[in-house]
Structure formats: structure tokens, C-alpha cells
Amino acid sequence: MTPEQLAPIGGALARLLSPHAEVVLHDPAADEIVAIWNPLSGREPGDPSLLGELNELSPTDPDVYGPYPKVLPDGRRLSSISAIMRDADGKPAYVFCVNVDRTAFEEASRLLAAFAAPAHGQPRVLFQNDWSETLNEIVAAYVRDRGVTVDRLTRDDRLELLGKLDAAGVLSQRRSVPAVARALRMSRSALYQLLAQTRKEPHADPA
């Protein structure tokens, strides 16, 4: 096993994770960096590895360590993982370290968290006269409570729903009938027929 044989692995990892990670190949016996791809840390081949006492590892110890945290001098935080390549005697021959810059992922996480934050209530001064919002809320709540789509509402369901909309004042608003008809997936004539019935024979609340 030589650095030249391991180089394609390092190059492939760096290409896959570019530009968010550096890949480093260490020689623990010489305590130096053999090769480095996408050097986020500014290190170069020949710089000290500073990996610690790898000679104390036994053949039964793990070959992969991490992910564990590291930090760059400019404050960027890394998630790192190290893989030990052993020789025929089970001793550490080389160590691959992959250091992933978490900056882009943390920024994306913050952005997603901001979008997922609970929305503020609608400002009443803007929406207090918006009967279309009331229409949408009543219809949405009705079908959600029954677990059906608007298309699957029965005639009795539509009568009850029209009663709720009428009681909320939606159907007394100018040009509301076409919007209600669209929301309930029905024609205006059918809506007028049901509305006449629900106003003539309002559904009684169950005892």
C-alpha cells in the first residue's frame, strides 16, 4: 500500500464533497501529511500530522473514528471523520481524514427553521373585512373535520356548510355567490337552490 495507490480514493472523496470538505492523507510513522485535497485548513504536504500516539492502537481497535468536531482558525466549524489504513501486521500505515465545513449546512438549517417557524396571526386591520378568507377557513375546517374532499361532500353536507357560511355573513357579501360556488365545486343555480332550502329549513342542532 502506497500513497500513490491511495490517492484515487482521496481525490474521489474530495470531488464528491467539493467545495465543502478537505481530504487529508497522513503518514503516522513520519507524523506528516502525505497528500491533501481541497485544503480548507491551509495545510500542505509535509506539514506535521499531529495525530497522537497511533502506535498504541491494537489490531482490535476501531478503524473509523467520528464524526467529531473540529474548528478552523477563522472560526468555521468542521465535522471530521478518520479512517485508519492498516498494514499486513495490523499496524496503522496511513490515515484518511475527511473534514467537512458545516457552514453551508448550518446556514441552510437556519433558513429552513425560519420558514418552519409558526406564522403570526393575520393582522386584523387588513383582513377583518375579507370575507374570502372567512369562506376559505370555514370550508377548509369543514372538510378537514370530516376527512373528505369538497368533491365528496353529500347534499346534506353542502346544506350544512352553506348554513355555516350564511351565518358567518359570507353569502350576504356582494359578488360572494360565484366564489362560494367555486369553493364548493357546484353551479350557481345549484347553490341558489340549496341556499333557499337551508334558509327555509335551517338544520336544527342535535339535542
* CATH number, domain containing residue 62: 3.30.450.20
Give the separation between CA 5 and CA 189, rounded to whole angstroms. Answer: 80
The CB-based long-range contact list for 163-168 (8 Å cut-off, 24+ gap) reads 163/198, 163/202, 163/203, 164/138, 165/135, 165/138, 165/139, 166/195, 166/198, 166/199, 168/134, 168/138
- Report the pLDDT value the prediction gives residue 54, as an integer from 0 to 100: 61
Single residue among 107, 134, 154 that ends a domain in this structure: 107
Altogether, the residues listed in the chain come to a count of: 207
Q: Is residue 183 part of a domain?
A: yes
Beta bridge partners of 86: 92
In a 3-state reduction of DSSP, which class is residue 47? coil
Structural domain boundaries enclosing 91: 3-107
pLDDT, tens digit, 9 for 90 and up, residues 4-32: 999 999 999 999 999 999 999 999 888 89
Q: Tell whether 46 and 135 lie within a shared domain.
A: no
Burial of 30 (0-12, 13-18, 19+ CB in 10 A): exposed
What mean pLDDT is reported for the chain? Answer: 84
| Shared domain check, 128 and 102 | no
Stated pTM of the model: 0.55
With a cut of 60, say whether residue 205 has pLDDT above it: no
Contacts of 155 (CB under 8 A, 6+ apart): 194
Considering Cα of 137, then 138, then 139, then 143, what sign does the dihedral take?
A: positive
The predicted model gives 172-177 an average pLDDT of: 86
Higher pLDDT pick, 60 / 146? 146
Same domain, 66 and 23: yes
Are 142 and 102 members of one domain?
Answer: no
pLDDT of residue 207: 34
Mean of the pLDDT values across residues 186-192?
91
